[in-house]
Structure 1
Amino acid sequence: MKVTWAYDRGDHRDNHEVDLSAPAALSAVLHEIHQAGEPVAVTIFSQAIDDPDELPPGLQIGLGHPTHSFAVHIAADGAYLNDPTVEAPTAGLSFDLGGVPTEYPAEYLRIRPDTAIQIATAFLATGGKPPRLPADTE
């Protein structure tokens, strides 16, 4: 699957793209991104499409914030995943989305970063089946 993320560097966008097929490799990349401490939206595309104006199906997660993340399934019936045991932050948080700082509402940020990485790894391992919370967070 194709994994993309980008940072706003003021005078340019710092774009990244890798193709990964092993869940362990994806987990390692996502942990590295998170440990950098720069809030960023990471998109994992489950399949390519021909229309450049349309967002391919996949999963998007927010990494880089110390305590809060998001996970959203990109599909016609997709939605944000929320862990009912995680309290939303007091305000929305900004993550770089394609190199554009983007504010995410607090109600979408009820996932811990480690949980977001688990969701993404499972998404890759299942070949892009609709994501769900890991069993230990439900």
Structure 2
Amino acid sequence: MKVTWTYDRGDHRDNHEVDLTDPAALEALLRDIHQAGEAVVVTIFSDITDDSDDLPPGVQIGLGHRAHAFAVHIADDGGYLNDPTVPPPDQELHFDLGGVPTEYPTEHLRLRPDTAIQVAGTFLKTGGAPPRLPAASE
């Protein structure tokens, strides 16, 4: 699957793109991205669409904030995954989305970074099956 992320560097955009097939390698990459401490949206997808304005089916995760992350399934029937045991942050948070600082509402930020990383790894492992929150025993 293709994994992309971009940072706004003021005078330029720092674009990244890799192809990964190993869920463990994806999770290691995502941990590195998160530990860098720069809030960024990572997009993971397998199918390229003919329309460059449409995102292909996949998952986007927001990483880089210490305690809050998000995961959203990009599909006609997709949506944000939220863990009801995670309290939302006190205010909206910004993540670089394609190099553009983008504000995300608190109701979409009810995941821990480790959970978002696990969701992405499972998405790759299952070949793009709709993501779900991991069970407590996983």
Q: Percent sequence identity over matched residues?
A: 74
Q: CA deviation at 1:50?
A: 1.5
Give the distance between the partners of 2:53 and 2:31, measured in 1 at CA. Answer: 30
* Residue 92 of structure 1: aligned partner: 92
* Residue 71 of structure 1: aligned partner: 71
* Residue 43 of structure 2: aligned partner: 43
**Structure 2: which 5+ runs fail to align?**
none
Give the distance between the partners of 1:91 and 1:8, measured in 2 at CA. Answer: 22
Secondary structure at the aligned position of 1:135 is classed as: coil
Structure 1 position 3 matched with structure 2 position 18: no
Give the distance between the partners of 2:21 and 2:120, measured in 1 at CA. Answer: 12
Structure 1: 4+ residue segments shifted above 6 A: none
Give the distance between the partners of 1:136 and 1:60, measured in 2 at CA. Answer: 22
Q: CA deviation at 1:80?
A: 0.2
- Pairs aligned (count): 138
Deviations 1:96-124 (A, max 9, x none): 00000000000000000000000000000
Secondary structure at the aligned position of 2:77 is classed as: coil
Q: Normalising to structure 1: TM-score of the pair?
A: 0.98
Give the distance between the partners of 2:65 and 2:35, measured in 1 at CA. Answer: 9
Give the distance between the partners of 1:50 and 1:125, measured in 2 at CA. Answer: 25
**Structure 1: which 5+ runs fail to align?**
none
Q: Normalising to structure 2: TM-score of the pair?
A: 0.98
Deviations 1:44-67 (A, max 9, x none): 013111211111110000000000
